[in-house]
Amino acid sequence: MSYFMGLDISTTSAKALIMDDAGKVIAVKGSPQPISQPKPLWSEQNPQDWWDGMVVAIKGAIAEAGISGSDIAALGLTGQMHGLVMLGADGQVLRPSILWNDQRTQAQCDAMTEAVGFERLIELTGNRALTGFTAPKILWVRDNEPDVYARCEHILLPKDYIRYELTGEYATDLAGASGTSLLDVANRQWSQTVIDALDIPASWLPKVHEGPQVTGTISARTAELTGLKAGTPVVGGGGDQAAGAVGMGCVQPDIIGLTVGTSGVVFAPLAEYAYEPEGRLHAFCHAVPGQWHFMGVMLSAAGSLQWYKDTFAPDMGFDALLQESVDVPAGSDGLYFLPYLTGERTPHPDPLARGAFVGMTTRHTRGHMTRAVLEGVAYGLKDSFTLIDRVGLPEQFEVRISGGGAKSAIWQQIICDVIGAPLANISTTEGGAYGSAILAAVGQGVYPTVQEACKAFIQTEGGTQTSADTSVYAEKYGIYQELYPTLKDVFHKLS
């Protein structure tokens, strides 16, 4: 039997997962990661901490599985996207990594948009210039730390720094590279147009690879540190969302992923490149060769419910709190909740958007407020489906749901009715680490395509069907769509 390892460097943990060649997970080991916020709006991590944690996780997973490191046939990588790692000529890290959630680069985003042009930037890269992305971080270092910029020779993403430590190779995957704002997403290569406009040396950028493509092999040094076998292949893998979609089996245009975590993500695979003209959806390369995807992101999904519980019912369990909403009719008797507690990204790329209850009267109870929160998040997720549908959803599609919010049958029914499509639960829960292990298995020929591997490894388990409330929500959703435009100026004044 062969075994495959998926490595995931997230913001909070370095994780190693081992699965067998039948897709069964046999070991998972994680190592917590520290984070630094040296100034307001800044967010940084030390890449050496990532590597130290990953060595611990790899050794721990091998021990937990009860196998030898030489039994691992191949590895795949995933992790947090957009982070900037700058290396010198000797491969040494020049400064702490600036992370995806760092907000210091708005001036550089504005400069990028002016240099390339708003429409042209979205056409080429599939996205607006956003503070979370990599390119504006590079410009920020040039503007503020010229001594560091002058010594830079290589740019890597977080998971690709792990790849460098594993193999000694400077490489990345197309899904991760899509989040840099430097990739020609349609043509799956670095955009010379954007690179020239920003005056970033093209030699700094690593070679790009498809998700299952071999990018290097385990070095002798890494073998000694981890117990892995020298020469073991390491495939491209994917950014966290793309690898997570592989782990859910969302690898063809008629299977859409819906994740209800702290944030909410709608992931729609595309057979051909497309982009939303105003950049309200992310358009990236998929970790699946020859595919792309749309992604809608709302910033406070289950995070809205967590805030609501902590604020209004701190001593209640979630089940008891949500049970109060069961007898409240769909639409919460005219009470709406806007889930913009931390600003918003899709469909309103507005960091100054704010949360609100709208339509409250004396007849509304806590049960109404609870249901309004559940419905408000569902409407926010529906916004992404609406935008994707304008470009083109398949006539028939399946929605696979995951995340903490999906564990509530009450909330799952509301989401199902609001988006107007059945929801399917899946048999896997490990997300990106599992998806990257699948990509490693495909890279080694266990299955000829990612689609066939996912069909064999991932099953759906029950789910939720639409109810009569679907027609009610179709009407209520139109009112919800009017609220942000009506309140936008007020939100900005408040901010």
How far apart CA 281 and CA 128 sit, in angstroms, is 9
How far apart CA 41 and CA 99 sit, in angstroms, is 11
How far apart CA 185 and CA 123 sit, in angstroms, is 9
How far apart CA 366 and CA 335 sit, in angstroms, is 11
- C-alpha torsion 176→182→185→186, nearest 10: -160
Query: Can the peptide bond before residue 158 be classed as cis, meaning omega within 30 degrees of 0?
Result: no
The beta strands (E) that lie in 37-192 are given as 44-45, 72-79, 85-87, 97-98, 154-156, 171-173, 183-184, 189-190
240 is catalytic: yes
Phi, psi (degrees; rounded to nearest 5) at 339: -90, 35
Residue holding tokens 């190693």?
A: 16
Neighbouring-strand partners of residue 171: 207
Spatial contact of 420 and 474, defined as CB atoms under 8 Å apart: yes
Question: Between 302-312 and 366-391, two packed helices, what is the crossing angle to 10 degrees?
Answer: 170
How far apart CA 149 and CA 84 sit, in angstroms, is 12
398-402: strand order across its sheet? 282-285, 292-298, 264-270, 255-260, 398-402, 423-426, 460-464
**Helix, coil or strand: residue 131:** coil
How far apart CA 438 and CA 447 sit, in angstroms, is 9
**Helix, coil or strand: residue 64:** helix
The secondary element (H helix, E strand) that includes residue 438 is helix 432-443
Determine whether 334 is exposed, middle or buried from the number of CB atoms within 10 Å of its CB (0-12, 13-18, 19+): middle
For the record, the structure tokens of 160 come out as 């690709």
Give the pairing of strands 336-338 and 356-358: antiparallel
How far apart CA 223 and CA 229 sit, in angstroms, is 5
Query: First vs last Cα of the chain: how many Å apart?
Result: 58
Neighbouring-strand partners of residue 227: none
How far apart CA 109 and CA 147 sit, in angstroms, is 22
For the record, the structure tokens of 208 come out as 């790009």
240, 350, 383, 469: which is the annotated catalytic residue? 240
Spatial contact of 268 and 399, defined as CB atoms under 8 Å apart: no
Catalytic residues: 240
